[in-house]
Structures are given as structure tokens and as C-alpha cells.
Chain A
């Protein structure tokens, strides 16, 4: 990490108008998908954005790349005001910021060969000769763990994990600095998920990438990210270092999310379960948006919107009662059982001795 700021987002807002009426549509309100979000990303850093469906995390990802236009706010990428750019300059900037999607089947053109899928952005952005493009395609395939002969196949010929590798190769094709990963592993089986997570970690190191990693799985996020932002109904309720956020969550919603993750770990007797459903972002609750589901809510929470406050450890929490709620019990888990760990060691040693198995 160089400590240089790559991305600065200030009070970014996206309201989707909701219209009713077929012939004379009129606006009956708006979905406040992203509502005044500010954050920064350093070069080489991974910031995870977590939250449940409808919290606005995917909309945020699309806003950062200006795939959709925000209602207000600003996005600066490497000092450039992304929102003021004309089409042509924006297109050029897109080379430096790419995206990986959740469903690798829906995001790859079914009628294009992998070669076309990968060479199109190379031709468009890098302007390489056909020969160099060819070389670059092969290089990209090997970087994501595929073989040169895969280039002439079509997306449907690949498994889900392989398709996600193609999606990653495509994102890498333009030599980007920032990749927004939108739930890149949630559609994959656990063993495949582990491969893709390891690949993303390796690539970050190899190419000095920065990630915005959008996900709902806190264990995955804690593994891959440096910092975590927790979103609820369009707002960030807590953001900070991943160890601080997961070991001593301060916002009641972060706590509810963490307690809800089912775990194969000992020492987890107590948990809090958030009651009820996520309210509609069309008509979010007054005051703190989490108050109807919060066990600590009081009159102030219903009336006033809490402002984010920075704690000693640098994290920001938007909760009126963050100093009054009981401390979070220390984690009780002791890691993988020693017997299991020894057996895993045996498998890992054998894997090194016999790499052909892969």
C-alpha cells in the first residue's frame, strides 16, 4: 500500500424515481438506493461493502464507475472528477477502472468466443496490434489459470468457476488500477469460491490492484478486505478496519449481521437476531433507519438521523447510542480443530509433492 488516495467519494446519492400510471405517469416517490455516502480508497487497498439485498451496495458500485448517473455528490478517481467528464474522456478513463459481476453467465456474451470477449477491450483501450493482442489474450488466460486452447471456446462450455475466471480476465485485460467486484463469488460452490478468492488475492499483489469488494458474506469479506463498510438502506452505518469491525462491532446492525452468520466455531453461545424484514427503501424509517429492528432504539433514534462519528481506532459509526450499548463479547473460536489441522497439513504436503493432481 502506497498510502496514495485512489478514490474519494463525497455524499454520493442516487434516487430512483418511482412512477405510476401507464398513459400519464407521475412520480409517486423515489427509492433512495444510495443516500449520502462518503468514503475513500487508498491505492492497493481493498474496501469491502457489505449489506443485505436492497441496501444499495450494487448501486454504489455502479455509481463509482459511473455506469449509472448519480443524483448528487462527487466521485474523484486519482484526482479526476469522474462526474464532470464528457463521454469520450470517460470512456478513456474506463480503461483504468473495471468491474467483475456476480453472475459470470449473464455478464459474458454467449455468442462470442473467449478470444473475442478478451480481445475487444484490448483493441478498444490499448490499441495493440493483432499479434500483441493474441499474446495478451494468452497471457490473461494463463494469469487466471486457464489454458490457451480455452480461447476458442464459448462461455457455455465452461463451469461457473471457469466463467468467473473469464470475467476476471476480461476485467484485467485493460490493465486497470481499480476493480469493482460485485458479489464475485456468491454464485459459486464453496470449493470453487476458495479458488477464485485466492486468485483475486494473488492478482491484487501481482498487479497492484485496488478493489471495491461488494459482498454479503462477512467471513469472505473479512478474509479479503483491508477495511469494511457496512451498508443499511442506502447509508453506511459503520466503516473501518476489518478486524475492528468484525471483532468489536459498534453499530447494532453490524452486530446483527455478524451474529446471523452461521459458523462452525466453538464459543458462540450468545447471539442477537434482528427481528422483522428490511423496510422498503421507498419509504425508509425516520431517524436512524435501523431503529424498527434495533433492540437499543429509543425516542431519539426514531426522531434524529445519527451522524457518523470517528472513534479512536479510526472507524466511523453512525449510531446515537454507540457509547451506551453493552460491549461485544470477545470471540471464542479457537480456529480449526488440531486433529483436522494436522490432516489438512498432510493433504497440503502431498499437494506440493504431487502438483500434477491439480
Chain B
């Protein structure tokens, strides 16, 4: 156990250079027997080199499909990215061939998933799984790749990496497997890591270890991270910028501090109030009425309007665009700031 001063992400640096990744008007739909599911419906955001962008939302909001679309991992059919642009280092990814995307995957952009046991190959030694990408992208020999695999295991703080390199995933604990996933993802020095709920399946003490590891690796390797999570605590401690998604749309985006001190969208506010806090003794938790709309039957106007206690006729008729309310802070709500409309 180590006592350490927690590094708060530095949020002061502003957007100046071109972002590493910019997603613009992304739409990924699924054609199913139940109708057309607009899982991601016009999502835009950008990620800066070396920074962490968190995408927050509840089940079904489209956060994972957004990530899969970037990696082109959406199964087609039934899924299809029907519109939008994904620019990586200035280069348009939409329209690239499968082969070209495969060259990027693992080398430039990597991904880690929630459940390391299902994303690791159960019958391959962890060393071989780390080496695979190195041989594919860096043209390393077996010996070089093995050397690098051991180095990666050491980097993700797996004890005795020289022996662990020859183990199988089932011989490791859940936390250790997620470290292996991170080692695989970072082996080729990607500039962007997409982490989809990387700690949701882990116990809190292990979650704290993994998140601390990701922060220190980001410091060392300057990797940009897209962190997909439902946990606002994880967001507060790890992200520089935040995108809040609801029903396939971005409802609010802001620097991390502003999400907690100046949240504007009623959905963001509802999320903040739904979680019990250690520094507040509210008798009852504030709740968001109703439930998430069915993806085939999105409400007209603002998709949150059926659950919003402030919704007006305009809200149920016209979809609000994202508009700027402060520097770097955008919100898709006709009524923001809502205190103007309260009694």
C-alpha cells in the first residue's frame, strides 16, 4: 500500500492545436426486426493529445457504440455508421478500407473493455497475446516481441513479469487480467486509448489501482484516453473533459470541473443528484422520473423532455442544438441556464 498525493488532472490547458481525434455528426444506426435503432445520432466531440475525455451516460445511451464506431467494430449488418466524420490526426477514417483501419487498430488507436476475461484469448499465453500486435505492426521478431512483452508487463506493474509472461489468463486475478489488457493495448505505443468501462467489473480497491495505473501511464506515455463510464466519481478523478450522452445524443460537454460546479442540462443535474455523497446527508435522493426511451421510439423534440420536469411545448417540438454557455462548455437545452425559468 502506498500513500500518495493524488494528482488532479490539469484542466487549465485549453484547446489550441488540432485535436488528435475529432468526431463530427456521427450517426450509427442498427436495422433490427424491431425497427431502426438510432443508437448514436449526431454525436460530436474531440479529444486532445495526452488528455482524457470521459463519455458518461447510462445503459443504452450510445456511449459504447460511439467507441465501437471509432474502432469500426460495430457488427455490419445490423449496424452501420450512416453519417458523420471521424478524423484521426487530421485523417478521415470514414471511408477507409478494412485493411487501412486494421493498420491503425492497436498501432495508433487501442481499446480495452469491461470484462478482461472475455476479451483475452483463454488458450493463448499472455506473452503471445501482447506479442501479436508487436509482430503485426512493428515487424518485431519473436524474441524482440517477447522482450517487449515482459517490459510491458513490468510497466503495468505485474509482479515477476519474466514468469507471468508464460501464464494463461485464467491463472490471473481479475485485476491482473485488466493489467494484461492494458499491456496489450499500449504495447505498440498508440496515441489514443479507448477504455470502455475498464473498471466496472472490478472491486473498488482494484479499481483504484487500475485507474491510478492509467493516470501514471498517461503521464509517462502521453496517451490520449477516451474513458467510457457511468460513474461520475471516476469522471471527477480521471477526466479533463466530459461528454454527457443521453439517448444517442450529446446533451452536455464541458471541462471536468464545470460538470460538477456548473452542470446545466437537467439530465446531467439528475445524474449528479442520483448518487449518494459522503459529504451530504440528504434523507432522500433526488431522482429522474420515468425511464430511458426505447431506441426505436425516440420522443420528438428534446429526447429528455418526457422525463424533464421543466419541459415546455418548445422542448417537445424542437430538438435543442448544442450551444455554448461558457468557454468550452456546451449544452443542448432550450432552457439553460434553468434558474431563469424556476419559480
Q: Which residues between 16 and 57 of chain A lie within 8 Å of chain B, taking CB atoms?
A: 52-53
Is A331 on the interface with B (CB-CB < 8 A)? Answer: yes
Are B260 and A264 touching (Cβ within 8 A)?
yes
Of B62-70, B97-105, B285-293, the one with at least 4 CB within 8 A of chain A: B285-293
B5 to chain A, nearest CB (A): 6
Are B208 and A349 touching (Cβ within 8 A)?
no
Q: Given contacts A333-B278, A343-B263, are A350 and B176 in contact (CB under 8 A)?
A: no
B228 to chain A, nearest CB (A): 14
Q: Which of B5, B6, B238 has the most CB of A within 10 A?
A: B6
Q: Given contacts A262-B208, A263-B236, A357-B289, are A268 and B6 in contact (CB under 8 A)?
A: yes
Are B309 and A277 touching (Cβ within 8 A)?
no
Is A346 on the interface with B (CB-CB < 8 A)? Answer: yes
B105 to chain A, nearest CB (A): 29
Is B206 on the interface with A (CB-CB < 8 A)? Answer: yes
Closest to A340 in B: B263
Are A272 and B1 touching (Cβ within 8 A)?
yes
- List, in ascending order, chain A residues with CB within 8 A of B118's CB: none
Q: Which residues between 244 and 281 of chain A lie within 8 Å of chain B, taking CB atoms?
A: 246, 252, 256-257, 259-265, 268-275, 277-278
Contact count A vs B, C-beta below 8 Å: 206
Q: Which residues between 270 and 318 of chain B lie within 8 Å of chain A, taking CB atoms?
A: 270-280, 282-291, 306-311
Query: What 1/0 mask marks residues of chain B from 101 to 120 whose CB sits below 8 Å from any chain A CB?
Result: 00000000000000000000
Is B58 on the interface with A (CB-CB < 8 A)? Answer: yes
Are B287 and A191 touching (Cβ within 8 A)?
yes
- We find that the number of chain A residues with CB closer than 8 angstroms to chain B is 68
* A334 vs B288: C-alpha distance when bound (angstroms): 23
- List, in ascending order, chain B residues with CB within 8 A of A342's CB: 339
Is A358 on the interface with B (CB-CB < 8 A)? Answer: yes
- List, in ascending order, chain A residues with CB within 8 A of B264's CB: 343
By a beta-carbon cutoff of 8 Å, the part of chain B in contact with chain A is 1-6, 58-59, 173, 175-176, 203-209, 211-212, 230-238, 260-264, 266, 269-280, 282-291, 306-311, 337-339, 341-343
Given contacts A272-B1, A347-B310, A349-B343, 17 further A-B contacts (CB under 8 A): A159-B291, A190-B58, A192-B291, A216-B203, A220-B276, A262-B237, A264-B272, A265-B277, A269-B5, A270-B3, A273-B2, A336-B280, A339-B261, A344-B273, A344-B286, A345-B342, A347-B338
By a beta-carbon cutoff of 8 Å, the part of chain A in contact with chain B is 52-53, 159, 161, 189-195, 197-198, 201, 216, 218-220, 222-224, 246, 252, 256-257, 259-265, 268-275, 277-278, 293-295, 331-337, 339-340, 342-351, 353-354, 357-358
Please provide the 5 A-B residue pairs with the shortest distance between their CB atoms, ordered closest to farther.
A333-B279, A346-B342, A262-B233, A223-B276, A260-B208
